[in-house]
Amino acid sequence: MGVRLNWTDYLGTIEYAHSTLIKASKGDSPFEIDTGRKERSSWQKGFSPNDA
């Protein structure tokens, strides 16, 4: 059946990815709204809110 992964091990990464994505409707991310600053993430470079 293969390797079984514990999905709870990935919750922190999933939460970070979700909270730092810029939302097209607002133009900012939940992280920015919550903390008042933009999160700098190298994997987000090259993506825009309209890519979805």
pLDDT in tens, 2-43: 777 888 888 888 888 888 887 777 788 888 888 888 776 655
Q: According to the model, what pLDDT value does residue 50 have?
A: 57
1 belongs to a structural domain: no
What values do phi and psi take at 31, rounded to 5? Answer: -60, -45
Say how many C-beta atoms besides its own lie within 10 A of residue 29's C-beta. 20
Q: Is the dihedral of CA 33, 37, 38, 41 positive or negative?
A: negative
In a domain, 2, yes or no: no
User: What pLDDT, on a 0 to 100 scale, did the predictor assign at position 4?
Assistant: 78
Please give the model's pTM, rounded to 2 decimal places. Answer: 0.50
Domains: count for the chain:
1
Report H helices in the chain. 11-20, 30-35
What pLDDT does residue 25 have?
Answer: 79
43: domain range? 7-51
